[in-house]
Amino acid sequence: MEGWTVERYEVAREREWNEFNSRSRNATFLTDRRYMDYHADRFTDHSLIARKNGKILALLPADITADGVLHSHRGLTYGGWIMPPRHFDAAAMMTLWDVMTYYCRQSDIKGLDYKPLPHIFAAAPSGEDIYALFRSGARLTECQISAAIRLSDNPGFNQGRRQRLKKALATGVIVEQATDENAWRDFYCMLQQCLADRHDAAPVHSLDEMLLLHSRFPANIQLWVARLDGEMLAGSVIYISEKVVHSQYIATSPEGRRLSMISPLFDKLIQLSAGGKFGTGVDYFDFGTSNEDHGLYLNESLYEQKASMGATGVPYERYSVMF
C-alpha cells in the first residue's frame, strides 16, 4: 500500500474532482460536483479521493450520518468508486479497499452503505468494486429492478403496445422537446398530480431544483412531451449520459393515459436514442426502477408497461459492510 492515500473531499478540490470524473470509465454527469452539490445542505458530504504518489486514482461520492456510517451519496441513485479509464485492475481495487478500510477505522467510521454503478452506464466493464465487496464480506441489502432496452438489439413494442401506438398516432399527436420554463412548470404540475393519484408519492426534486439542474446541464437533462392540439398530455424528463438515456420522470394526464400517449412519446425517444440524437455512444434506453420497500415490492403493472416497449431487467444493487 506504499504511496496510497485516501483523503476527504474539500470544495477546493472541485475542479480536480470534475476533471477526473469526466474522463473516468464508470462515471456520469450525476457525479460531477455541479450536480452533486445542488442539495449540499441536506447531507454531510464525506466524499473520498484516493491517490497513489499524489495522483488521483479513484473517487467515491459519499455522505456520512451521525451513526458513523459512510453512504454512497444518498442524493444520487448510484455512486460507487469512480475509476480511471485504464490501468486499474482488480488487484488495484483490493489495495484501494484496504486503504479505504484503514482510513475509515482511523476516522471512526463504522460501516459502508454502497451503491455500485449499474453496469449499463459504464463505458467499459467496471465491476472490480463488486469483487472487493464480496472479498470484504459485504451483504446485499437492496436490489431494485430497472427495465432497459439495448438499442442495438431492440425487440420493439409488443403487439398490444403497437396497437396503442397506432391509435395514438392517428390522433395527430406531436412529440417534441420542450425548452421554455412554462413547459417545465406545466410538466411538473402534471407530474405531481400523476404521482399523487397513482403512487401516493411526490417528485424527488422540486421544480426549482429541476430548473437549476437543467440550467447547469442543458445537454444532459431534457424535457420531451407529447401534445395534442397544443395540450401537454404526457412527458418525460430524460437524463442523457455517455452510454444511457434514462427516463428520470414520466407523467401523463388522465386524457393522456386514456389515449396511451406514452406510446408515441417513448417510441420517438427510443428512435432518437438509437439514431444518435443524444450521442453516438448511447447503447441503452433505461426506463428506471419499478420498486418500493428497498426492492421487496415490485409494481408489476408498471414494470409490465416498460417491458411492453421491449425493455428487460437491469439490477440496481446496494451493499453493506462493517469495519
Give the tens place of pLDDT for each residue, 203-225: 889 999 999 999 999 999 999 99
Cell output for 252: 401523463
The residues that bridge with 289 in the sheet, in sequence order, are 146
The pLDDT of residue 50: 98
The pLDDT of residue 236: 98
Task: Using pLDDT thresholds of 50, 70 and 90, give the confidence band for residue 230.
Answer: very high
Q: Which residues of 107-125 are buried (b: 16+ CB within 10 A; e: fewer)?
A: eebebbbbbbbbebbbbee
Kindly state the average pLDDT of the residues 292-313.
95
Closest CA to 156 of 2, 310, 261: 310
The pLDDT of residue 196: 86
- CB-CB contact of 177 with 214 (8 Å): no
Taking the model in full, what pTM does it have? Answer: 0.95
One-letter identity of residue 94:
M
Distance from chain centroid for Cα 154: 21
- Look at residue 104 and tell me whether its pLDDT is greater than 90: yes
The pLDDT of residue 69: 98
- CB-CB contact of 83 with 121 (8 Å): no
Q: Report CA-CA distances (Å) from 54 to 2, 15, 58, 277.
A: 12, 16, 12, 40
- Look at residue 121 and tell me whether its pLDDT is greater than 90: yes
Q: pLDDT tens, 61-81?
A: 999 999 999 999 999 999 899
- CB-CB contact of 311 with 149 (8 Å): yes
Kindly state the average pLDDT of the residues 69-96.
95
Cβ neighbours of 127 (radius 10 Å): 16
Percent of the chain residues past pLDDT 90, beyond the cut: 93
Q: What is the mean pLDDT of the chain?
A: 96
SS3 state of residue 62:
strand
Q: pLDDT tens, 138-185?
A: 999 999 999 999 999 999 999 999 999 999 999 999 999 999 999 999
